Chain A
Amino acid sequence: MIRLDGVTVLYRERAALRDISLQIEAGERVAIIGPNGAGKSTLLRVVAGLLRPVAGTVDLAGSRIDRLDRLAIARRLAVVPQLPTLPFATTVEEVVALGRLPHEHPVRGMRPGDRAAVAAAVDRVGLGHLLGRDARELSLGERQLVLLAMAVAQQAPVLVLDEPTVHLDLRHQVEVMELVGDLNARDETTIVAVLHDVGLAAHFFPRLVLLDKGRIVADGPPAEVLAPDRIREVFGVDPALVRLGA
């Protein structure tokens, strides 16, 4: 579904990603972990076609991503953005409906199918009780769920999440993770998430990709990737501090 081949990205002459090769199959659930500055978010931006690598190629669902226009990418890959600010009062329903932009009719707007997709996404994420509320008045946790519902409404085969749990308390963290797991299991949505919390990643993701200094240093099941020596080496902490939920 996603294939990176020898990808190198420069940020002002400094290599943010070096020679990354990675293959993610349809229906996989992959967490990208690593210390700050390892290149996790850069990798996500490359996968989403926001950054163009100086070397290497990125394929999305069988097509070179740099040959797809934004609309074509948005139909194949949905991104849960980091919490944005809204300039105008916008109801939860209106935010979720933005997920239909890549599909709606360019002139007429949303059609019945789009409305059904919005209603289904709202149901799936459990936002029915917030529908008419101004999204700017919600708690951070609720807003994160709204953005997740928007991405679900996009109905793309790949769902990308950038630190989806960063503002959330423990209950909401688990809620989001279970929801993502359910999307993966029931709808076979391919999931790629950048996660700060290694424990959360190990518990909810069968495959971890560990980045350090712009390189992939490990890729596999949590028990293998999070070997004590590697935790000490990459994160510089006592391995006992990282609880492995798996």
Chain B
Amino acid sequence: MSPRSAILAARAGSGRRADLARRPVAVAAVGLVLLAVALVAGIAAGTVAIPPGDTIGILGRRLLGLDIAPTWAAAAETIVIDLRLPRVLTAMVVGGGLAVAGAAFQGLLRNPLADPYVLGTASGAALGAALAVLIPVRVLVLEFGLLHGLAFVGALGAVLAVYRLSRVGANSPMTSLLLTGYAVSSLLAAGLAMAMYLSGAGLRQIFAYLLGGFDASSWGRLAVAALLIVLASLGILLRARSLNGMLLGEEAATHLGVDVRRERAILLALASLATAAAVAVSGLIGFVGLVAPHVIRLIVGPNARLVLPLAALLGASLMVGADLAARLLGEIPVGVVTAMIGAPFFLALLRRTRTGYEL
């Protein structure tokens, strides 16, 4: 047997991820279909159900300018365009952004248990939002209130603090980052608890933020969040090479031509930006950013160039689906749905994986 055919034979017999070359395209196609179905279902279903045919008709007429004669009531059109469309699109963008950020954090920290919130973004955003509820000032800029603003600033501020505090000399080793993230998160959580204790009637509002949701989505907020999330995600995707290098650790990455210190700082900043924009408009929704990259890695392997876009697609579909489920269950918080679906699913994944995770 020639060496080349030996390789092919080994590849055919290797089982789990045999068809590496063709798999990503198939996964992308499935992901796109899944997302399209989720989007249409997400727009059609709700307290006022609009038949999928009408939904597609309305979308075709209003978004693509197709000449479709309305078979639906004018109210249906208003519901679709002004309420449901910004809502499902926000869920899509937030889900995709959290999945990309999660994949980036997992790769950067070389830790499969990392999620977009691991370095303090969640607790920073939560504290910011809680403070916004306590401050009796109502401002609105571009549909953004104090709560969105302080949640965004809190998320970014927390990561910046973690990054600065974790530095040892000129370096910022990964374990030190993780532990500092934990410490800073605990401190911020204490602040959050205090704010909740003092909040009185505002408690319900803080709580709603902590559990996350898309019921308050608007076109204006969607536009700003989408811009930030898409730009940050593209920036991360362009640095897939650096993430791949870090698979083998910082030193090996350096030998493979990655300027580890610079790339890590840039990737951290971009992933945190995407996360902050997501939590500012939707609150804290867990598990999507953790699970989506995992599922994709099991299917196509760890190559960030494939993992990032495919995880974005899956995260977007999952989030639209979770929002739909939350709505059908009577407007329960989306964070509850993602945790209730995500956690058992994640456990099942861990059991299925042949080798345990080394940390």
Contact = CB atoms under 8 A, between A and B. Distances in A.
A187 interface: no
B205 interface: no
B7 A81 contact: no
Given A81-B251, A87-B247, A119-B4, A107 B238 contact: yes
A98 interface: yes
B153 to A, nearest CB: 31
B245 A129 contact: no
Contacts of B15: 132
A131 B7 contact: yes
Contacts, number: 122
A184 to B, nearest CB: 19
Contact of A89 (B241, B244, B248, B297): B297
A90 B256 contact: no
Given A70-B259, A88-B297, A94-B302, A106 B252 contact: no
Interface in B185-231: none
Nearest to B301: A94
Interface string B81-119: 000000000000000000000000010001110000000
Contact of B10 (A95, A131, A136): A131
A101 B17 CA distance: 22
Given A87-B110, A123-B4, A136 B297 contact: no
Contacts of A98: 244-245, 247-248, 256
B11 A131 contact: yes
A107 B240 CA distance: 8
B255 interface: yes
Contacts of B240: 109
B73 to A, nearest CB: 47
Nearest to B305: A109
B355 interface: yes
B112 to A, nearest CB: 6
Contact of A73 (B14, B20, B257, B355): B257
A71 B251 contact: no
Interface in A67-96: 69-71, 73-75, 77-79, 81, 84-91, 93-95
Contact of B14 (A99, A107, A133): A133
B18 A132 contact: yes
Given A87-B111, A94-B302, A50 B14 contact: no
Interface in B255-278: 255-259
A128 to B, nearest CB: 4
Contacts of B252: 79, 81, 84
Contacts of A84: 248-249, 251-252
A134 interface: yes
How many interface residues does chain B have, given as a range? 35 or more
A117 interface: no
A151 to B, nearest CB: 8
A4 interface: no
Interface in B284-319: 297-298, 301-303, 305
Contacts of A74: 255-257
Nearest to B13: A132
A149 interface: no
B254 interface: yes
Contact of B247 (A75, A90, A107, A131): A90
Interface string A46-76: 0010100000000000000000011101110
A69 B257 CA distance: 8
B171 interface: no
B7 A122 contact: yes
B110 A132 contact: no
Interface in B331-355: 353-355
A43 to B, nearest CB: 16
A219 interface: no
A128 B297 contact: no
A62 to B, nearest CB: 19
Nearest to B111: A87
Contacts of B4: 119, 123
Contacts of B3: 123, 128
Given A101-B256, A132-B16, A119 B247 contact: no
27 contacts: A69-B259, A70-B254, A70-B258, A74-B255, A77-B255, A81-B248, A87-B112, A87-B357, A88-B302, A89-B353, A91-B301, A93-B20, A94-B301, A98-B248, A99-B256, A102-B257, A104-B241, A106-B238, A106-B241, A123-B3, A123-B4, A123-B7, A128-B3, A132-B17, A134-B355, A137-B354, A154-B256
Given A87-B247, A101-B258, A131-B11, 20 more contacts: A71-B257, A73-B257, A84-B251, A87-B111, A87-B112, A87-B357, A88-B106, A88-B112, A94-B301, A94-B303, A101-B256, A102-B257, A104-B241, A106-B241, A128-B3, A131-B14, A132-B10, A132-B11, A132-B13, A134-B354
